[in-house]
Amino acid sequence: MICIFDILFLIFDIPTPELPEVETIKRQLADTIVGCKITNVWFDNPKSLQSNPLIFVKGVKGAIIQKIDRRAKLVIFYLDGSKAFVVHLRMTGRLLIRKAGDSIDAFAHVVLSLEKGLELRFCDARKFGFMRFLKDQKELKELLLGYGPEPLDDLSLEKFRQILSKNQRSIKEVLTDQKLISGIGNIYANDGLWLAKTHPLEPANKVDAAIVFKAIEKVLTEGLKDGGASDQWYVNAFGAKGKYQEHFKVYGRIGKPCLRCKTIIKRIVVASRGTFYCPKCQVF
DNA sequence: AGTGCGACCTGATCGC
DNA sequence: TGCGATCAGGTCGCAC
């Protein structure tokens, strides 16, 4: 049975940018604005420029974007002179490439003017996201040290098994803990666990690591192929929506039938986050 | 040491 | 019509 609270929750759950979404943006930016000089910086919310906004402006203005990369949910902009800045979109953040004359974007908080008449706009309705300047590679390295391995890159099954075996917290908490494994958030943890037929509350050291590993790899790859999930806020660097929301397996599907067994999908709260699962397929 | 929870922030929505 | 309360999300920092 669906009750009124379920419907409320259905409305309120907000998908946020994770590895596939951030990677999509990163690829588009890398194709478009590498080599561009940053000619000006505008901002209206100092908190969007973590630490000291003036240091950000001073460090970034006049610099040339050498390379754009992604680590965890961070987009990394390498500048000349071993400087860099990173962007975290958190919940509602957007990174948009626009032409200088294009109409103003809603919730724009930082705008970097670039050569070729382009602009890189950082928009964020909730103001949770941020841009952060790093004065040298050492500072950047220190920041990145806090993140676990990349699930589609340097995370082997053996390493994954090790991480799980050392943890008795729920598998969902472990999957979304950026210190342990980076890039996985609420959407792909939910869908991956559904694919692995694993209950989100099962202790990490009790689950079948190989099955969960494969499932996570699969949903992340699928999400990437679809250009991310765009239920509410997410759009890519060109302002276009992704398609993975059309392929959600359990995420946000409360009250709807399980794609495997038709059992009604349930929602519980795990570590203060909305969590969806099939009560028949995912048991422990 | 490991765990848990409040704070951050605000658009969307609901109740009154 | 409109105001106030509630909720979500990722991550940090603090308290137990």
Q: What is the pLDDT of residues A71-110, one digit of tens each?
A: 999 999 999 999 999 999 999 999 999 999 999 898 999 9
Q: Which is nearest to A186 in space by CA: A250, A233, A130?
A: A250
Average pLDDT, chain A: 91
Residue A113, pLDDT above cutoff 90: yes
Q: Which domain holds residue A184?
A: 4-15+148-277
A61: left (phi over 0), alpha (psi -120 to 50) or beta: beta
Together in a domain, A126 and A163: no
Our count of domains for chain A comes to: 2
Instruction: Give the Cα separation of A243 and A73 in Å (integer).
Output: 19
* A168 and A108 in a common domain: no
Spatial contact of A178 and A147, defined as CB atoms under 8 Å apart: yes
In a domain, A284, yes or no: no
Residues A120-129: tens digit of each pLDDT: 999 999 999 9
% of chain A residues with pLDDT over 90: 82
Distance in angstroms: CA A7, C1' B14: 12
- A17, A53, A151, A200: the active-site residue: A17
The residue from A222, A273, A279, A280 that is catalytic is A273
Residues A90 and A160 in one domain: no
**Confidence class of residue A12 from pLDDT cuts 50, 70 and 90?**
low
Whether A17 is catalytic is yes
Specify if A82 maps to a domain: yes
Annotated catalytic residue: which of A26, A70, A71, A73? A73
Is residue A241 annotated as part of the catalytic site, yes or no?
no
On whether both A201 and A273 belong to a single domain, the answer is yes
CA A268, C1' B13: Å apart?
21
Give chain B positions with protein CB within 7 A: 2-15
**CATH number of the CATH domain containing A76:** 3.20.190.10
Question: pLDDT at residue A63 above 70?
Answer: yes
Report pLDDT digits (tens) over A191-210. 999 999 999 999 999 999 99
Residue A231: the pLDDT is 80
Last residue of a domain, one of A127, A144, A161: A144
Residue A88 (CA) to nucleotide B12 (C1'), in angstroms, measures: 23
Q: Which stretch of A2-16, A29-43, A144-158 has the lowest confidence by average pLDDT?
A: A2-16
At residue A248, does pLDDT exceed 80? Answer: yes
Please state whether strand B lies within 7 Å of residue A128 at its CB atom: yes
Residue A2: pLDDT over 50: no
Measured to protein CB atoms, the chain C nucleotides within 7 Å are 7-12
The pLDDT of residue A9 is 40
Say whether the CB atom of A169 is under 7 angstroms from strand B: yes
